[in-house]
Structure 1
Amino acid sequence: MTDKPSVLFVCVHNAGRSQMAAGFLAHYGGDEVEVRSAGSEPGGEVNPVAVAAMREVGIDISGNRPKVLTADAVESSDIVITMGCGDACPVFPGKRYLDWELDDPAGQPIERVRPVRDEIGDRVLALLRELGVPARR
């Protein structure tokens, strides 16, 4: 791993789960981590309910846009965390891959998105502890 760990979050549309995870990691990790997110079939916009759910915890992801998953993004990341993209994620030797099984918030009301958001936040904090990066609050 490099001095500054780089993490890539991947879900199919890069509109919900991966955007929330990237938002949490950027918020808690600050300048100590490089944060990327992408989708195997990116949507047109970030899920507005995910944006609202993150706003409730003081994190603004409204300016984010879904991005397409590229081999370069995977190759330049130390850790790749998939969230339901299955085999669409290219595999490179020497990279650490994790799969976070999370409910898809697409089309769900905010009451159903909040628990997904909270689980992602907890997992991001655990990842930072594992990486030895102190979480900013």
Structure 2
Amino acid sequence: MVDIAEHSDALDRAEVRLREEFATMFELETIHRFLHSSYDDFAARASVTLYLPLLAERFGRQRLQALAKVEGKVAKPRPTVLFLCTHNAGRSQMALGFFEELALGRAVAWSGGSVPSGQLNPSAVAVMSEVGVDISREYPKPWTDEIIRAADVIVTMGCGDTCPLVPGVRYMEWIIEDPAGLEVEDVRPIRDDIGRRVTGLLTELGIDVTDPVGTPSSPRNA
């Protein structure tokens, strides 16, 4: 059981930072609620508790950004894509990594899972590193109402009937093998498939990908 008192100082500092960032958009109570509900979610399934305040701050910030878009408080909203799978440990994280690497800030991507895992799939992290994309700092997380409503495109990858349905949102279903439990050599084809699909999606969004992510034999950063 996590004792929130252990993290009270870190959470207080995180709340100060979020207040500075969002004070012109939201009441302080909303900022406090989003931070602490994010903390409670991670604390309920965390095996390692050291980084809980940091994860809560990062997820709280993402949720507040989503709410700002939903409420029309973002002056020039960028296209927003949400990648969903079951555990948010492999497929959706690889898609997020490719998207952020290729979009270069011209569009926003988030990811989530219906039953978030306790950690990323190490094989997924390894194969993404092979092509110069570091997803090791990401973390499995759920989706929330404001994140769903802020998305322009929702890409589902195996979450089945638990995937949310929101009117007016464009849905895409990618049939991609789950890399859970697979060795690195078996995850590479899954990674390459996801990379091609993400590149195609960005093209559909009108975002030109002029410097595609490389392959192990021809890495981007070589």
- Flag structure 1 segments of 5+ consecutive residues without an equivalent: none
Tell me the matched-pair count.
136
- SS for the counterpart of 1:31 is coil
Displacement after TM superposition at 1:92 (Å) = 1.0
Normalising to structure 2: TM-score of the pair? 0.60
Greater displacement, 12-21 / 126-135: 126-135
Counterpart residue number, 2:175: 101
Normalising to structure 1: TM-score of the pair? 0.96
Matched, 1:67 2:146: no
Q: Could you tell me how far apart the structure 1 residues matched to 2:104 and 2:189 are?
A: 24
- Flag structure 2 segments of 5+ consecutive residues without an equivalent: 1-75, 212-222
Q: Please tell me whether Structure 1 or Structure 2 has the larger radius of gyration of its CA atoms.
A: 2
Displacement after TM superposition at 1:87 (Å) = 1.4
Displacement after TM superposition at 1:71 (Å) = 2.1
- SS for the counterpart of 1:38 is strand
Indicate the structure with greater helix content: 2
Matched, 1:34 2:102: no
Counterpart residue number, 1:91: 165
Displacement after TM superposition at 1:126 (Å) = 0.4
Q: Could you tell me how far apart the structure 2 residues matched to 1:123 and 1:90 are?
A: 21
- SS for the counterpart of 1:104 is coil
Counterpart residue number, 1:48: 122
Indicate the structure with greater strand content: 1
Amino acid at match of 2:100: A
- SS for the counterpart of 2:164 is coil
Q: Could you tell me how far apart the structure 1 residues matched to 2:83 and 2:106 are?
A: 17
- SS for the counterpart of 2:104 is helix
Query: Pick from 14, 18, 25: which aligns with 2:99?
Result: 25
- SS for the counterpart of 1:81 is strand
Identical amino acids, percent of aligned pairs: 51
Q: Could you tell me how far apart the structure 1 residues matched to 2:183 and 2:114 are?
A: 24
The Cα offsets for residues 5-56 of structure 1, whole Å up to 9 and x where unpaired, read as: 1000000000000000000000000110111000000000110110000000
Counterpart residue number, 2:69: none
Displacement after TM superposition at 1:89 (Å) = 1.5
- SS for the counterpart of 2:105 is helix
- SS for the counterpart of 2:141 is coil
Displacement after TM superposition at 1:90 (Å) = 1.5
The ranges of structure 1 where at least 4 consecutive aligned residues each deviate by more than 6 angstroms after the TM superposition are none
Q: Could you tell me how far apart the structure 1 residues matched to 2:163 and 2:147 are?
A: 10
Matched, 1:7 2:81: yes
Q: Could you tell me how far apart the structure 2 residues matched to 1:132 and 1:96 are?
A: 15
Give me the CA root mean square deviation.
1.1
Displacement after TM superposition at 1:136 (Å) = 5.0
Displacement after TM superposition at 1:3 (Å) = 5.0
